[in-house]
Amino acid sequence: MIGHFLLVGLGGLFGAIARQRISTLLNKRTISGFPYGTLTVNLLGSLLLGFIVGSGLASTWELIVGTGFMGAFTTFSTFKIENIQMGAHQKWKMLVAYLIISYGGGIALAFLGMIVGIKNAM
């Protein structure tokens, strides 16, 4: 049991570092205020988690990569705060675009990842 916590924690360590690096790099380059960093990590996370689920990785790898890394890599809380901030600043078009791309793209990419994972596992 302790081993499982350590696997999740190890994956989470690297997932959090990867998210911070990507978000910082992408958000630094935007003038519009659009949260490209958060969008990128969440969409990429959806694709990769779909692949992990579809490929049927061994439970050890699922804990490290699926729960640990992907859990720390993707960010629901930052996404929600960004939505609230866009609404508070009345950036309605940006908010609607962000919601559609995040939810629609996330579901589509997770589905695509599952399909690729299943085909790769065969």
Query: What SS3 state is found at 32?
Result: coil
Tens-digit pLDDT profile for residues 9-43: 999 999 999 999 999 899 876 667 899 999 999 99
To the question of whether residue 74 is assigned a binding role by annotation, the answer is yes
Tens-digit pLDDT profile for residues 93-108: 999 999 999 999 999 9
Give the dihedral of Cα atoms 38, 7, 60, 50; nearest 10 deg: -10
To the question of whether residue 50 is assigned a binding role by annotation, the answer is no
pTM assigned to the model: 0.90
